[in-house]
Amino acid sequence: MSPALPPDFEWGFSTAAYQVEGAVAVDGRGKSIWDTFCHLEPSRTKGANGDVACDHYHRYEEDFELLTRYGAKTYWFSMCWSRIVPLGGRDDPVNEAGIDFYNRLIDALVRRGITPWVTLYHWDLPQALHDRYGGWLDVEESQKDFERYARVCFERFGDRVQDWITLNEPWIQSIFGYATGGNAPGRSSTNKQCTEGNSATEPWIVGKAQIMSHTRAVIAYNQDFRGKQKGRIRISLNGDFYEPWDGADDRDHAAAERTMEFHIGWFANPIFLKQDYPSCMREQLDDRLPAFTDADFAMLRAAETDFYGMNYYTSQFARHRDSPASETDYVGNLDELQQDKGGTPVGEESGLGWLRSCPGMFRKHLTRVYRLYGKPIYITENGCPCPGEDKMTRDEAIDDPFRIRYFDSHLDAICKSIQEDGAEIRGYFAWALLDNLEWSDGYGPRFGVTFTDYNTLERTPKKSALLLKNMFAERQGIKVAAS
């Protein structure tokens, strides 16, 4: 294979604080909305919680030895806002014990020659802010508190951290947290388990709050930190790729494009294009979609980001609906399907019903995003659980041919998007370093390249973890010494 990735292509593994850290009541950490959500009765998370998780808080040295063994040169992780500012607000005290923990963690990476990438927010809003003013439901207050938290992180860690991500997957926080209620804080007017929320209005308010919070953090970094620290800042957006259910029906073509606007354009148009939300969203949602003021647009124009962070797992087919959209619709008035009109599946089944392996559509997704938004792309999450892996023993799970095929085919898609479509793609992070708490799915799905025994917390590398280095080396034209 001729080299398709540049020698400086960055790759590594990723995790998120609540999913791996544990130690939720240790060293002054405050509660987050996920701490509360995971302890609701009846359970919304299949009885699981992050109280211990993978105990990464105490075992990070062991986990970073795995990174070294796997050949990773980068590691992407999130910081817990309430571990750093337990009450979350701009006038609330900083927790020095939390600062010390992340300093030790960062230093341990640097010592090994592994570049730290930091996400400021991966869904774990301080519970105190949710109690104080509704958290993300207050657009003005939340963005000011997020800016202060971001500034603390830039000040304390920016001498060693040059790669920042403001928010991870704001669509998930907005929709699953405030429309379906399946994630923290569990607000919804359509979910019978939820006692509070308005699915017709709240997700759109939360979306704007996150856009403006990202914007404030970027402006703060660019104005006060970038010159000295020489770092980079971005946001990571999730989104599937959609193709028409009926390739001969223009209405399905329009539906496919429309739902990608609802998933990606919602955030990417204001952040990258400095424009209003996509017109299809305005047409369907009308005044339920909060307007940007002139002052907001001035801030958006001032908040220049370096790259596009992309989280991608799967693709789907879109079939239009003839009936008007319901007030609580959030995908663009269509059906999301895994088979097309002729019954052809979108891809090979994984260990989760919603996730199928669709590398060809991943290539189209990469190319589409690059052409629309014109920013170099970093794939900040990509991975899968193997079929039946949640029922496997350790010895069965560490042999993971499906995951190996998934990684291999998706790396090929990246190469084709670069070589044949002209996309600029700079890096890739496999989700995830460890099997961990998969949010409302509990400890069932195993996305990790490392098997975690949740009883003993013992880690065991899977075959995929040991092969990724070779996959990248082959595509970069780098010779790997025989092991």
Q: Active-site residues: which are they?
A: 169, 381
The DSSP output letter for 345 is: B
SS (H, E, C) 100-135: HHHHHHHHHHHHCCCEEEEEEECCCCEHHHHHHHCH
423 vs 128, 261, 278, 365, 392, CA distance in Å? 43, 20, 23, 11, 39
Distance CA 288, CA 284 (A): 9
Residue 152 near residue 84, CB atoms below 8 Å: yes
134 vs 122, 127, 184, 240, 331, CA distance in Å? 18, 9, 13, 29, 25
Helix (H, G, I), strand (E, B) or coil at 205: helix
Residue 428 near residue 9, CB atoms below 8 Å: yes
CB contact set of 65 (below 8 Å; sequence gap of 6+): none
- Exposed/middle/buried for residue 277 (C-beta within 10 Å: 0-12, 13-18, 19+): buried
Question: Angle at which helices 266-273 and 170-178 pack, to 10 degrees?
Answer: 150
| Chain-centroid distance, C-alpha 456 | 28
**Dihedral Cα 225, 217, 16, 160, nearest 10 deg:** 0
